Every structure is written in structure tokens, then in C-alpha cells.
Structure 1
Amino acid sequence: MVLDLFVNFCILFTFAMLLFWVARQQKRTKFPLLRKFPGYSIGLISGVFGVVLMLKSIHVGSAIIIDGRMVVLALSGLFGGPVAPIIAGTIMGMARILVNEITWPAIIAGTNTIIIGLIIGLVARRIPITFQNAWKYFAYTTIQTVLVIGSLSFANEFVAGRGAVFILYSVISFAIVYVTLLKMDQLSREVEQIEQHSSTDYLTGIPNNRKFEERFYNWRQERERFHLAVLDIDYFKRVNDTYGHPTGDLVLVELADRLKRTTTSFGGEVARIGGEEFGVLLSATTTHHALEQAELLRKSVDSIRFQLPEGLELRVTVSIGVACYPDDAEAMPDLYKKADERLYDAKLGGRNSVRISS
């Protein structure tokens, strides 16, 4: 029995690690079903794994099989939301009834699994399952299962002491898996924070040049045509020399926020490339629309009035150069060079203007 329990636990542990990975990859996955319907997908995956656990279960008497499906139910709600345990519970419950000989104990156990999945799903709609409260949901599944086991034991369908093995195995399995996942979640969040810091500009909070290049290559894979704009604050050195670097930092922060809100309005993306220079991915596919979006950026900056101490007011402008992918270039360095050349033309033309490759 010990070897069989170990095999069942290994399957359960593998499922937990797989589910953790799937949940973390939801936004990055190329599978449309998982990306659009994560709860249904995770519920289906959980249900299938629950059936596998039952097929590899340990039979104790004629009324009970020992496996980790109750752990699966709790984890499905943790990673898939309210709908996942309902789907998983239904699949596992029906399988519990049909997988072996159809008996009253099997019907009772299967119905119990379905009911547990349904209740977990309904409660999770109001109280989402998290790493902090997942153990409470598992405790509920354990208590209800104990009551069912007690009723079967009272009907003399199996020895109560054997039923305790099922409960003990479930509790120990959940504890090991839960602690492991909790630690993995903490490490995953730390890694995400490190990645975010490495791809975010420390001053403005918008993406930095590294992240901007990554987004450019993503756009190149997803779109046939778009534009790259390079913005530079006019006479920014004068701002620092006249009002000091704290004021210069204030200008950069507020300007970045305005650019972010403006680019979001037309589906673009902005990043601070360095110093007083910003890069913007324009969703426009035609020269005319790209010019409109770039002008929208220029005007949004031109409308900002920075309030300084002693009632002073500061106004800044930007010059913008725009190049088209793939007409002007396909590689990021080459396209940036083209946009930078147009930016130089805007500077020579008097600043506070837009120049675009035709």
C-alpha cells in the first residue's frame, strides 16, 4: 500500500507543478482556449488529472478508494477561479461513479465530489481562493468527506479505520503540495519584481529601453505594419541648468505620464529610451494616421503647464521623428536610426514639430 500511495502522490505532485506553471503562463500562452477561457481549461485539466488519480488509486474494502482528488479540487479553484472546481468536481464525480463497478458507495462518493466542487465554486465567487485561504477550502472538503465516510462506515460498508487512511493521506498530501506551491509562489513573485525593475525606468515608472526593444519585436511578430516615433524634449538642458535637476525630474515624470495616457488612447506603447528621449510604438499603419498620432503626442505635451515655486509656470515642447516598419527598415536599430534622422530634421526645422519618413 505504501508504494501505491507514493505513486499516487507523485502523480498529484506532478499535477500541482503543472497547474502552477499553466496558471503562470496564461497571459503568454499561444493556446487560444487557455488564454481566453483559463477557468474552463484549468477545470478540464484538473478533472482529467483527478480521473488519472482515481485510476491509480488504492482500493480499501468495497466502499472507498484512496487518492488525492480532494486536493485537486482545492487547487483547481486556486488557479482557475470559481468555475474550475465546478468542472473538475463534475468530471471526477461522474468518473468516481462509473470508473469501477456502480455501487451505492460509489454513487455516494461521486455525488459528494460533485457537491464539493459546486459549493467551492459558488463560495469562491464571493471569496476568491488564494494562497492565504486555500487551506480553508481544503478543510471544508475534508470535513464533508469525513461525514460521508462516517455514513458509509455506519452502513458497515468498510472499516472506519481504513477510511481514516484516506483522510490522513489527503491531509498530508495537501500539506506538502501547499507548502511547496506557497514557496514557489513567493519565489515567482520575487522573480517578477526583479524582471519588472530590470525593464522599468527607475524615475518615470514606464518601460525602459530594454523593455521597449522586447515590445518592438513582439509587435513585429504580431503586425504587418506600424510606425516608430522618437521624441526628444526641446532645450531640456536649459531646464536643468535654470531650475535644477529636481525640476527636470519632475518634468520627466509628468511628461512620461502624459505620453503614457495619450499612447494608450490609440493603442500605442511608450518607453523612456534615455535622458530626455522617449520612444513610442504607433499603431497607425498609414503615413497619414501616423502623423496624426505623433501630432497628438506633441500637442499633449505642449498643453502641459508645470507649476513651479513662487508662482512660476514652465512649458516644454518636444520634437518628434517617425519611421515606418517595414518600409523604412525591419531591424530595430535601423528603424530607430531612420526615426532619429527625422527627429534631427524636426530640430533643424525649429523644434516643437513632427517629421515623418514619406
Structure 2
Amino acid sequence: MRPLLLPCAIAAALAAFLLHPAVQTTPSAFWSFLAAAVGILVWAGWLFASRRRSGEPLILEFVLRTPHWMQTLAQGALLVWWGTHVEMVRSWAPMILAQLLLAVALEGLFAWTRRGRYTAGLGPIPVIFSVNLFLWFTGPWFFFQFAMIVLVYAGKEFIRWQLGGQSRHIFNPSALALFVAAVALIVTGQTEITLGIEIAQSQFVPPQMFLVIFLAAVPAQLLFGVAMMTMPAVLTILAFGLIYHASTGIYFFYDAYIPISVFLGLHLLFTDPATSPRSDGGRVIFGLLYGSGVILSVFLLDAVGAPNFYDKLLPVPILNLLAPRLDRAAEWIAMKGPELLRTFQGGGGARRRVATVGLW
């Protein structure tokens, strides 16, 4: 049962955060850390007892997967650049570490409980980075930050379907938690309990932020072909913004054709290859719908008097649900259309990915 030393060590690390001044002075954070540490220990203890009775082993293995380390580098570089120029990001860094520890413990305990085997790796890092690029609960509401991490792994573990003979999680894990939190905040009118607006505004502070986001996303675009999603989405929003500006004389997003926070979502939120269409045609439709969904979300948010910064969060889980249907729709369009569309739908491998990124 040595693998259970990992969650026990994480529980000890989370308990050590009780000595952090920001945690000690915030009762909600203090009790959140204490509950997380105790909960992990209780779960690990129950798992130890049940497996000892049954005689079934617990297996821990480490696998370094390319998508995970690539996303870690991309999002990590972005966080470092952002934090270099924005003090509140540096102050929040210990809370990101705490969420990462909780994520590893949850992922491992879920895996051991349901399958007896945990394949550890860098997977939790881009998930936690993604959540923290968009939404923080602070002060007396900090426990919702940990609740989002629990939702990430519960959703990944239990909300699944069969695709291609394999069980896959339906939703982009971080996007699901952000969506649920966003809807709850919109319905209750409690955006002020987060730093969501401040996050979006602070992302304008670092110089060349558009370029940094763009360059951070290029490796994944080359390797996984996700530029087929990003480019149509960006062009959809840009085209609408240009038409809106020409018609009204003002920006649709008030300060830019595409705000940095939306540009970030276009590159590093909705482009998860595991929960998006597999075909190039499906990905193009996925991108067009995401861009349109962001625009529609702005109108809906304005209608209910909610802040617009939720716009890039709302469409993602809906599109995740549609991903297989978008592949089928792209296939149908290709079959009914000219030969060029059938060639495009079939995929072009590395050369097409390079050409697409070059065009982008």
C-alpha cells in the first residue's frame, strides 16, 4: 500500500498551508485547507483498509504524455509572463500550488478507488493552470476554489461516454468547472466574490500579451492540429467586431476587437484535443461555433446584466457535447460537397498542420 503515501504526503503539505499568513487570517481558507487535508487522509485510510481486506494491490505508475508537458509549458510560460508584471498573480501563486496538490490527490484517489491503478503524470498541471487563468474565489469564498477542483475530477471520472470503443470524458475538465461556476455566479449575481473581472483586466498589463499567447499556443497547434479550431474562431469574432465597429463606431468588446482574455480562451481553453472533434472539418465547425458562441454570450450577458468576462467560458461544455455530431456533420458536408471538401475532411497529417499554423 505504499502508493497511498502520496496522498498522505499531499495532505501533510496542505496542512502546512495552515501556517501561511493569508490562510491563517482568512477563516474560509483555513477551514478549506483543513477539510481538504482531513478528507484526503480519511479517503486514503478507507482505501487502505478496504484494499487490505480484499487483498487487491494498489498500483502507482508514472507516464509523461506529450499533450500534458506541452500544455504545462505553454500555460506555465503565460502565467510567468503575467505574474512578472502583475503583483496579484504572484500573491496568488501559493494558492495555485495548493490547488495542484489537491488535484493530484483527487486524481490518484479516484483512480485507485475505481480501478486500483493510478497513472500519474503532468496532467493536473495544465488543468489547474487553465482554471486559474480565468477565475479565482478569494476571501470568505475561497472554499469554492477547492470545490471547482473537486468538480474537475469528479466530472472527468464520472461524466463519460464511449467513442471509438473507448471510454472518454465528455467535457474539457477545467472548462466544465469554469462553466458551472460561471452559471452559478450569473444566476446569483455574485460575481464580486471572485476576481474574475480583475483577472481579465490585469491581462492587459503585461506588454505583448497577444504575442505571448499566440506563441505559447503554436507548439500544440503544430502537434495536434488545433489551429483548425483557433483560426476559424478568431476570424469569426474579428469579422463580427469589424462589422460592428464599422456600423456603430465603437468596439463590440468596448476596448478591442478581441480582448486578451477572449484571445486566451481562443488559444488555451477550448482547444483541448481530447474533447473536441477528431476530423479537420469537424474542428473548423467547432471553431466557428465557439466564436459565434462567444459573441452570443456577450448579448445574453448584457441582457441579464452580467459581466461580459464570462463570454469565453459559457460555450465550451456545450460544444464538447456536440463534438461527435460535428464530426458527422463535417463528413456529411464533405460527402455532399465537391471533391476538395472530401480531401480536406480526410486530414492531411503533419504537412497540413504546418501549413495551417503557417497561414495562421
With normalisation by structure 2, the TM-score equals 0.27
Larger Rg: 1
- Which structure has greater helix proportion? 2
Higher relative contact order (CA 8 A, sep 6+): 2
- Which structure has greater strand proportion? 1
With normalisation by structure 1, the TM-score equals 0.27
